[in-house]
Amino acid sequence: MGHTGQKERLKARDPLYALRHSTAHVMAQAVRRLYPQAKLAIGPPIEDGFYYDLQVPVQLTDEDLPKIEAEMAKIIREDHRFVQSFMTKAEALAHFRTHGEAFKVDILQGLPEGKISLYTDGDFVDLCEGPHVESTGRIKAMKLLSVAGAYWRGDERNPQLQRIYGTAYESREELDAHLKRLEEAKRRDHRRLGRELELFSFEELAGPGVVFYHPKGALIRSLIESYLRDTHLARGYDLVATPHVFRTDVWKQSGHLEHYRDYMFLFEADEQAFGLKPMNCPGHILIYRSKLRSYRDLPIRFFEFGTVYRNEKSGVMHGLLRVRGFTQDDAHIFLREDQLVGELGAILEFAFDVLRTFGFTAYDLELSTRPAQHIGSPEAWAHAEGALRQALEARGLRYDVHEGAGAFYGPKIDLAIRDALGRRWQCGTIQCDFALPERFDLAYTGEDGRPHRPIMIHRALLGSFERFLGMLLEHYAGALPVWLSPVQIVVVPIADAAIAYARQAAGVLCARGLRVQVDERNEKMQAKIRDAQLAQVPYMAVVGAREAAANSVAVRHRRQGDVGVMGVDAFATKVQQEDADRSSGIDLSVGGAA
């Protein structure tokens, strides 16, 4: 606990940080040898690897990576020591200006006066604070993965650079296992699965970052919504719905116009300024303050499937994971101070229950504290941060601290899930807010008859439906559990003579509340079974004259194959039970959901 800053947190949890950092230097050194005019930007370790941003006089492609790897191998064999040295800021600026390293100069200009750390290996010198391994010969297993574009400091108004991604491990066996996981991740890519399973699409005519749900995808989303609606109502939440468009007066009062303008879609109508909502919280605030509230009413829990719109840059959008229009399972809770820690704990338990239902049992927790740009008093922030810590520690939960990464209105707990491949996905968030109730002058009448200020919790369990669906598809490799499968059973008649009985069996299954299709195509039975498996349908019920005579079905599972012959009613009960239990019923291991 208590690691500060993104780089420090990665150092703390990644034993390969120094190795990957050193490999990034060697990669930049190799590029410089091959292209002496190349200019260096930044090259940090990241989760499972590293990258380096460079300005290279030629356009690199993935086909150039073997050549760069070969040069890296030479540098590794030369076994140069990584040696740290120091300069004053003025000396460092002079050094990098002399060598024409404009990006390093830009970095230096933002640093305070004092000692500047550099690392040298052989003929290569880089602005760097470390750490590194002892020498380049210490690098045993590395691989370059891809080339992408990147703007300097992430700003499209700045020069475009080329970003080379790679990874490094202590042994070739570990590297090979990682490369196998990457291949499996490609096979599970939700964009491919969404297209092949006919779940969703992005339409060029409509513009980037907006999702079109096809019938099966819309049904999956509806099933998720139904489950969430029922569980929220059972836990004392009230369902609300708010507009998509507000006058900018609301966003000005909330602070979004000041702190979030670059991500908002703003326009004018009837000589007034409006904005599409980037968040749901102001709408819930306006509902709260529409009438007088008593201390007896609290906590008030407003819940909404709230669709929001954010003007994401075109370069960062990625399938369902980063879009411009998305829907959140958003809730805002208004409560008294004496209720705060208990409510935070209840939300954590709620989040864990929901994620377990979807098959996620491994997760990371992170507490983000007050950022430089914020609203509200330091005292209120300290109070809110203390309540979040208390809720976490009362349950013995381990968490990291991300200093300065809270929302502008309050600190937060972020929950990241681990999928079947061990990858980390940001998911739910719980934010404690003393500032917006102040800005909107929210109040409740206390037991003493006087007005008091409520505290506000912002909370999402899944986050964005779009992002969560993308994660879910990759977690299950498209083979969603029975309760989330848009088609649960395909009835396959062996021949045309069995179609009438196939329809009859399907009718019984449908009457039991199951989602069933009959494959009446003029295709061979094996082709129909194969197509159902490719469509990730959990069960196939094969029927012919023998099954018709016995009022039964020959059951096949998409992974396990032949399950055996069952009576139609018994089969319906089996699938109903699996549906009701919301169990996954499949192997999530690598390669287990091919």
Cα–Cα dist 180/72, whole Å = 22
Pick the CATH number of 482-581 from 2.60.120.10, 3.40.50.300, 3.30.420.40, 3.40.50.800: 3.40.50.800
pLDDT given at position 223 = 97
pLDDT of residue 7: 60
Cα angle 506, 512, 515; round to 5: 55
Q: Which residue has the tokens 């099966």?
A: 216
Specify the DSSP element, H or E, that contains 228. helix 215-234
Q: Which amino acid is at 223?
A: L
Neighbours of 435 (CB within 10 A): 21
Distance, CA of 327 to CA of 351 (rounded, Å): 17
Which pair of tokens denotes residue 414? Answer: 């972020």
Q: How far apart are CA 168 and CA 12, in angstroms?
A: 17
Tokens for 206, please give them.
Answer: 């409509």
The predicted pLDDT at position 372 comes to 85
For 266-290, what is the HEC assignment?
Answer: EEEECCEEEEECCCCHHHHHHHHCC
CA distance 331 to 428: 11
Q: What is the pLDDT of residue 48?
A: 87
> Distance between CA atoms of 522 and 96, rounded to whole angstroms?
72
Residue 530's alpha-carbon distances to 474, 492, 558, 559, 591, in angstroms, are 21, 11, 9, 11, 18
What is the pLDDT, as a whole number, of residue 482? 96
User: How far apart are alpha carbons 499 and 522 in whole angstroms?
Assistant: 11
* Residue 391 backbone phi and psi in degrees, to 5: -65, -40
Q: Indicate the class that CATH gives domain 277-475.
A: alpha beta
- pLDDT number for residue 340: 93
Neighbours of 36 (CB within 10 A): 8
Would you list the domain boundaries of the chain?
Answer: 6-187, 277-475, 482-581
Whole-prediction pTM: 0.84
CB neighbourhood size of 503 (10 A): 14
The CATH number that domain 6-187 falls under is 3.30.980.10
Q: Is 422 exposed, middle or buried (0-12, 13-18, 19+ CB in 10 A)?
A: exposed
Catalytic residues: 281, 310, 328, 330, 332, 412, 458
Q: Which segments within 419-487 are labelled E, that is strand?
A: 424-433, 444-445, 451-452, 455-464
* Element containing residue 178 per DSSP (H, E): helix 172-187
Contact yes or no for 202/194 (Cβ under 8 A): no
What is residue 170's predicted lDDT score, i.e. its pLDDT? Answer: 94
217 touches 194 (CB < 8 A): yes
Tens place of pLDDT per residue across the chain (594 aa) = 333 355 655 565 678 999 999 999 999 999 999 999 999 999 999 988 999 999 999 999 999 999 999 999 999 999 999 999 999 999 999 999 999 999 999 999 988 888 999 999 999 999 998 899 999 999 999 999 999 988 898 877 889 999 999 999 999 999 999 999 999 999 999 999 999 999 999 998 998 899 999 999 999 999 999 999 999 999 999 999 999 999 999 999 988 888 788 888 989 998 899 999 999 999 999 999 999 999 999 999 999 999 999 988 876 778 898 899 999 999 999 999 999 999 999 999 999 999 999 999 888 999 999 888 887 788 888 888 999 999 999 999 999 898 888 887 889 999 999 988 888 898 899 999 888 999 999 999 999 999 999 999 999 999 999 999 999 999 999 999 999 999 999 999 999 999 999 999 999 999 999 999 999 999 999 999 999 999 999 999 999 999 999 999 999 999 899 999 999 999 999 999 999 998 654 444 444 433
Q: How far apart are CA 227 and CA 350, in angstroms?
A: 13
Q: Name residues whose C-beta falls within 8 Å of residue 443's C-beta, 6 or more positions apart in sequence.
A: 293, 451, 452, 453, 454
Mapped onto helix, strand or coil, the DSSP state of residue 291 is coil
